[in-house]
Amino acid sequence: MRWLRPMPKVWSGLPPDDARAIRGELNRALDRQDSRGRRVGNGRRGVYAFLDYDEEPIYVGQTVERLRTRIRRHLTNQRTDAVAMNVLDPFEVAFIEMWPFLELEAVASEDQSVKETLNAAEYTVYRQLTGTSVFRAVLNEVPVTAAPIIWLPESTRARIIPDEIYERRKHPDERIARRAATIARLAQVISERSVQPGLRLTLLTQARRLEHLAAQRLDEVGGPPTPGAPLDLNTNDEGPIS
């Protein structure tokens, strides 16, 4: 009897072929090699970032375990605070970028030099990515701590969604619906708990992201020239309202 690996929880709502295709693409991304032939996802100390279908940064993190382990945990199950708190919707992630610090692998993870380097690297990545972002922000529920700007190792950016799924999931109406649902779940979490201001900032950033995407879509279908333009409430798509 053939043994079948259980489908990751976050992907359990997908058609089985889609889930397998995305998992395969993610594995290929994590198996990419750097200029010295080393698999980037095997790095045990590093910083990573998730980006959406517009290559806008949505999450930045650091890890002292394998990059592949940490990234898979975010994207394939609910066992991270970011996913469980509805801060990060794995369906929004189209690209990953990784910065492995291979020279730190021989140093104990508890060593202060490792913590200082990764804190500085995470902040440097955050500043670089948000510096070119439309929103100048990411969705991290805990703000990235300010630290010295440092040199970063060679990074690897890869798309994790196969071609046949990418175009379908990139459609703005699909993304608007998911983003709105994520905001609703996050707002529900906030309404039921005593939360830190960082989570409320995440809600605001996600709302701005939704507004931006909805405004773009409205413009595509011939809506008002700007999101703030007044709507003519006396007409609809079929002509004047009698």
| pLDDT per position as a tens digit, 120-170 | 999 999 999 999 999 999 999 999 999 999 999 999 999 999 998 999 999
Q: What is the pLDDT of residue 8?
A: 47
**Cβ distance 96 to 32 under 8 Å?**
no
Number of residues that make up the chain: 242
In the predicted structure, residue 10 carries a pLDDT above the cut 90: no
DSSP state of 194: -
Q: Which residues are within 8 A (CB) of 105 and not within 5 positions of it... i.e. 6 or more apart?
A: 43, 44, 45
What pLDDT, on a 0 to 100 scale, did the predictor assign at position 214?
Answer: 96
Measure the N-to-C terminal CA separation of the chain; round to a whole number of Å: 67
| Residue that wins the pLDDT comparison between 123 and 227 | 123
Residue 132: exposure state from Cβ atoms within 10 A (0-12, 13-18, ≥19): exposed
- Listed by start position, the domains of the chain span 9-162, 167-223
Instruction: Give the span between the Cα atoms of 196 and 198, in whole angstroms.
Output: 5
Query: pLDDT for 87-120, tens place per residue?
Result: 888 899 999 999 999 989 989 989 999 999 999 9
* Angle value at C-alpha 170, between 31 and 91, nearest 5 degrees: 60
Predicted pLDDT of residue 239 = 42
pLDDT for residue 87: 84
Write down the pLDDT at residue 15: 64
- Strand, coil or helix: 232: coil
pLDDT at position 80, please?
59
pLDDT at residue 1, as a whole number: 40
**pTM of the predicted protein model:** 0.85
Is it the case that residue 231 has pLDDT exceeding 70? no
| Average pLDDT rounded to a whole number, residues 187-200 | 93
In this prediction, residue 176 carries a pLDDT of 97
pLDDT of residue 204: 97
Give 16-67 pLDDT, tens digit per residue: 788 899 999 999 999 999 988 999 999 999 999 999 999 999 999 999 999 9
Return the pLDDT at 88.
86
Mean pLDDT for the stretch of residues 226-237: 50
Residue 4 has pLDDT above 60, yes or no: no
Identify the residue whose tokens are 């990139």.
170
**At residue 223, does pLDDT exceed 80?**
no
Cβ pair 126, 138 in contact under 8 A? yes
Q: What is the DSSP letter of 80?
A: S
